[in-house]
A and B are shown apart, each in its own frame.
Chain A
Amino acid sequence: MAPTWYEIRIRETLEPEWTEWFEGMDLRREEGGGTLLSGPVADQAALHGLLLRIRNLNLTLLSVNPAARQQQKEKEL
């Protein structure tokens, strides 16, 4: 199965070097605080793994959304 693109929003601001911690997801600071994690997620198990990492660091999860960005990116390309 092809990986699905996910966007995960958290309330805290994370430095970009945390990208390795989140399996290579792209980390982008949001205006007004918070971080957007985005990238391909292999399957549901991998997604839960990511959420687990967020939980273990006591980060505040705001939203989890699939798909949209990948389509955009493809268009951009």
Chain B
Amino acid sequence: MPAGAFYWLGSPRVEVEGRPVRLETRKTTALLAFLSVERRPHSREYLAALLWPEYDSVRAPANLRRVLSSLQQSLGDGWLSITRDTLAFEPAGSVSVDYSDFITRLRDLRKSFSDGEASLDDTGAVKLREALALYRGDFLQGFNLKDCPEFDRWQMIIRDEAQRLADRALEGLVEYHTAVCRWDDALEESRRRLSLDNLNEAAHRSLMFLLAKTGKRNAALKQYEICVRLLGDELGQDPEEETSVLAENIRRRRIEVPEAGRTAGGAARSPAEESLVEGSLLIRSTLPKVRSKLVDRSRLFTLLDEGSRRPVTLVSAPAGFGKTTLVADWAARRKIPVVWLSLEEGDDAPHRFLTALASALAVTASPAGTEALRMLKSAQVPPITMVTESLLKDLARKGAPSHLVLDDYHLITDTQTQELFSQVVRRLPRDFHLIIATRVDPAIALSQLRARDQLVEVRADDLRFSVSEASAFLRDIMDLGLEAGDIETLERRTEGWAAGLQMAALSLRGRSDCSAFINDFGGSHRYIMDYLMDEVLAGQPKEIHDFLLKTSILKRFNTDLCDRVTGLAGSRDILETLDRENLFLVSLDDKRAWYRYHHLFAELLRHRLRQKSSPEEISALHHLAGKRLEEAGDIEGAMDHYLTGALHGEALRVLTEQHDEMIARGGLVTMMAWAAAIPPEETRQDPKACGAFGTIYAFAGRGEEAGRYFARAEELLDKTEETEETRRLRGEISAIGAFMADVTGDNQKAVNLAKRADCLLPPDIHMGRALAAYVMSKECRRGGDYDGADQWCVKLIGHARAAGNIWPLAGAVYERAALRLVRGRLREAETLVKDFENEPREPGSEGPCAKITALRAEIELERGNPRQAREISRRAVEDVMPWGLPSDVAACLLTRLRCELSAGRLAAAEEDLERIDALVRTSQVYATMVPMIEAERVLLLLAGGKVEEAISWSQNFQCPDDWSPALKEIHTLSRCRVLIAAGRNSEALTLLAGLAEEAEKAGRYYRLLEILILLAAAGTGEEADKALKRALSIAQGEGFVRVFLLEGEAVLERLKTLTNDSGSLQPHLSEYALRIVSLSP
């Protein structure tokens, strides 16, 4: 009995007795594959028609006979059952058909990896992998019978089914290996899924996720770009929302990287410190944990359920009525996925309020508000209405969060913020539910909401504990066995106020004379909390008493922070005790690591603390807390304590020490708020602090304030003896001053200051020297000395690398590449950009590197790939926003504008132009950017058919005299475009006269291209053709495409005519012209 193996998955192969069998013809292979997969008998007639559809009923069966005999000769006997009418695959010996094995194994295993229940275990995974080993490739890979449509269809069905199963199996394995953290396996399997079908978006997603998870963030983002390109090129589609959201999360580093996978960089932190930082950031938006034992408040749940069917639920009652507990308990028990935001005092301004709101929404499983958040984090926040629009749009999206709880809304008292919130409430999307817990009714149109039955209210009277609830509370929660009469007295005296009842219960702990105490209490008129606080504190051991007072200054705390502030080591035990005894401790996370006190309790504690301690003692506590948070890297938390404790010296020190790094991390907005909170008279005494403040304002584009601080610093330095340090500080101030002057276009001042910095700075102060070199390079560029500019940039790169600062490094590379673009050297520019992007980077350098990303978009755009360019430019804008340097923001926005314009998305382009205009109005953006912005404005107007407006722009815009020839040239080209659009071609030609020679002489080859193409657009006949041919021959070597598409139909038509007219173009230019035409929209 012969043994045979039939391999159909991958390129077809047959073995009998371990030896390969050669099948004579392709039809032989097809017949054998068909029969061995189908297994049942088929009529000769059917098979003949299947394989020879074009032959008649005589020739086809004859061919079948011939193939059959060839097959039998190759295989030998014992494989087929042949009758007069039918054929079937009926092996006498042992046989394996890989396709059938594969299908059978997977169908058996299917239950373990599909149907949503991921119950795959290690054994299952091994079996799956064995099965997958059979799948060497697609069914009959590389094999086809083009002239047999029926067979072709059959092959396709089988192939697709096998592929689908392989994909499902791989998906199951990826899921399993992800769950057990076997990243390498999961990665390999994800890649294999994509090799099955590179348009499988889910597979792209899982690969992106795994790359991010293993710390390969850049690779993950590259994968996204690949996915965007493939989908765009092959299907003409944008990626699904889920994919872009994932990319967004990767960009924003929301994919947590497990320790082992984290790439190097950043100071190592101990686990305790890690949690300290994490805690302060995330806890505010965590649903407060409720105790498992709570009084049954189903009557109130019914009210909240009602609210869930209306837009707004208002839980309005004074402190201590159990609002938070009620809503949290309800959400937890009803399993409603609420987004929770506990507001804080600091949120009481439109910008801060929206930031808190968007942050809470953005950390959910289906993030909303991420775009709003980016806008808010930039130094120049766009109009607040744009932010709310974006937020509301996100909320209206399918799958967006549907329940938002705003706790402690009463902390919002600022009129503008209230007005903003009321607008948001009016425009909430359908099916969105807002739950407001507050001590004061919010200033929203409550009566209107009531009248329209859009509001459910839970008020103090509803929240009051009834006698039976009070009795359940005292008995079940507080473990107090009290007489019915006593309970009634307590309920009456506290009026069902939850905090009062709890405080009373705490005072009763361990008392033998409960009834007597309750009677006294019931007869007293003293403020309950005051009366009882004394009792409660008196009942505590001194250790706990002190602990409570000292820790009352903390907004939230863990054992580590408590240890530091109290100077004790036993905080863990104390916190556990407090938690056990129901001492108003609120647990903030699952791990019971972070806590806060109940608000009212904390206020009473702070009151006691102020009575018992001097302001100096309290300030000392803030000092301890601030230091601890600072050590853990929570600069914001530390500054909070320094500023509250009036520790301005510490606050100034932090600002002075941290400002460089904070600027690099995009903390400009926060730092400006801190700077404003420190009394100026303290800052003004310290030259270093003045230098730091000046730098902060300079980077925020607020030149006037920056100048004042720098002047003050110099003034102070004048009064002190000159030391190395003072020279250095002066040098640094000059360098930043030079940079500012350069931005504002005060060129002479910039050069003078740069030279001064150069004299003053010791050679190893690389940052200052880098800025000076930057200014010098700009000066060379203005004078048209491009090589000189490039040499300064090379020096600058040396200093930037030595300083270890990414920002000037990126700036230098940007300059060098941008210079090359102007000179028409697209390839060189590309090499510079790619080399830079391939260098390893510290996390957090996206902001300063964003404009390099923007350049990459520009390069793609010039090459005629607008879709890819747009995706890259969007990433550049996203990255640059939190960084916030106005000139960088404007540069990235300008690139995105160009990309949107090229993709024909005029509305989006217009939006970008508005934002750029706003930036130019409110802060200092490079003066040299103005002509480029104006050029895009004209292109945008013309693309929208607004010729009249373009003409009036042309008449009104005055080109300043001090613009360099290169800048004036840009302006002239814009005017030409307007003239051509208005049909005034001869005027355009007059303007263009002589420009080409000038541009060529100066080496501005990109401008030369533009000029030549404009000449072709405005001109006629041979002159125009000549210009266009010349443009083609310059552009072809470098691959410029977009520049030809800018001037519209006239140029395209001329290109087409040139290619049709044989002999007028050299073949490689003709081919290039055709390519340009094919890439036109």
Q: Chain A residues in contact with chain B, CB under 8 A?
A: 12-15, 17-18, 20-21, 33-34, 55-59
Contact = CB atoms under 8 A, between A and B. Distances in A.
A13 to B, nearest CB: 4
28 contacts: A12-B525, A12-B526, A12-B528, A13-B526, A14-B526, A14-B527, A14-B530, A15-B526, A15-B530, A17-B611, A20-B610, A20-B611, A55-B319, A55-B410, A56-B599, A56-B600, A56-B603, A57-B319, A57-B529, A57-B603, A58-B318, A58-B319, A58-B320, A58-B321, A58-B499, A58-B529, A58-B600, A59-B527
Contacts of A13: 524-527
Contacts of A21: 607
A21 to B, nearest CB: 6
A39 to B, nearest CB: 18
Interface in B524-539: 524-530
Nearest to B534: A15
Given A56-B439, A57-B600, A57-B603, A18 B530 contact: yes
Contacts of A15: 526, 530
B533 to A, nearest CB: 11
Contact of B497 (A18, A33, A58): A58
A17 B604 CA distance: 13
A58 B603 CA distance: 12
A56 to B, nearest CB: 6
B440 interface: yes
A57 B527 contact: yes
A15 B319 CA distance: 20
B949 to A, nearest CB: 49
Nearest to B321: A58
A18 B600 CA distance: 15
Contacts of B525: 12-13, 33-34
A8 B463 CA distance: 27
Interface in B312-371: 318-321
B316 to A, nearest CB: 12
Which of B528, B530, B600 has the most A CB atoms < 10 Å from its CB? B530
A31 to B, nearest CB: 11
Contacts of B524: 13
B527 A12 contact: yes
A34 to B, nearest CB: 7
Contacts of B603: 56-57
Contacts of A14: 526-527, 530
Contacts of B499: 58
B679 to A, nearest CB: 20
Interface of B: 318-321, 410, 439-440, 497, 499, 524-530, 599-600, 603-604, 607, 610-611
A24 B484 CA distance: 42
A55 B439 CA distance: 8
B529 A55 contact: no
Contacts of A34: 525
Return the 5 tightest CB-CB contacts between A and B, nearest first.
Answer: A33-B525, A12-B527, A58-B318, A13-B525, A13-B526
Contacts of A57: 319, 527, 529, 600, 603-604
A21 B604 CA distance: 10
Contact of A55 (B318, B526, B604, B611): B318
A34 B524 CA distance: 11
A57 B439 CA distance: 11
A29 B887 CA distance: 64
A58 B524 CA distance: 17
A55 B527 contact: no
B220 to A, nearest CB: 48
A21 B525 CA distance: 19
A38 B366 CA distance: 53
A77 to B, nearest CB: 31
B596 to A, nearest CB: 16
Nearest to A54: B318
Contacts of B610: 20
Contacts of B529: 57-58
A20 B607 CA distance: 9
Nearest to A53: B603
Contacts of B599: 56
B724 to A, nearest CB: 50
Nearest to B603: A56
A56 B319 contact: yes
Contacts of B497: 58
Contacts of A56: 319, 439, 599-600, 603
A13 B521 CA distance: 13
A56 B606 CA distance: 13
Given A15-B526, A20-B611, A58-B600, 11 more contacts: A12-B525, A12-B526, A33-B525, A55-B440, A56-B319, A56-B600, A57-B319, A57-B527, A58-B318, A58-B321, A59-B527
A37 to B, nearest CB: 12
A57 B607 CA distance: 11
Contacts of B607: 18, 21
A16 to B, nearest CB: 11
A26 B410 CA distance: 27
Nearest to A17: B611
Nearest to B524: A13
A20 to B, nearest CB: 7
Contacts of A58: 318-321, 497, 499, 529, 600
Contacts of A33: 525
A55 B383 CA distance: 35
Nearest to B499: A58
Nearest to A48: B413
A65 B566 CA distance: 43
A34 B526 CA distance: 8
Contacts of A18: 530, 607
Contacts of B526: 12-15
Contacts of A12: 525-528
A33 B525 CA distance: 6
A73 B610 CA distance: 30
Nearest to B610: A20
A32 to B, nearest CB: 8
A75 B362 CA distance: 63
Nearest to B599: A56
A59 B604 CA distance: 13
A36 to B, nearest CB: 14
A56 B410 CA distance: 10
A62 to B, nearest CB: 13
Contacts of A59: 527
A12 B611 CA distance: 21
A33 B527 CA distance: 10
Nearest to B460: A58
A25 to B, nearest CB: 15
B618 to A, nearest CB: 13
A18 B530 CA distance: 9
A58 B600 CA distance: 9
B189 to A, nearest CB: 57
Contacts of B318: 55, 58
Nearest to B440: A55
A15 to B, nearest CB: 6
A68 B427 CA distance: 47
A55 B460 CA distance: 13
A33 B318 CA distance: 21
B281 to A, nearest CB: 27
A13 B529 CA distance: 11
A51 to B, nearest CB: 10
Which of A20, A55, A57, A59 has the most B CB atoms < 10 Å from its CB? A57
Nearest to A15: B530
B524 to A, nearest CB: 8
Nearest to A35: B527
A14 B530 CA distance: 8
A35 to B, nearest CB: 8
Contacts of B611: 17, 20
Nearest to B527: A12
B600 to A, nearest CB: 7
A33 B497 CA distance: 19
A21 B440 CA distance: 21
A27 B499 CA distance: 24
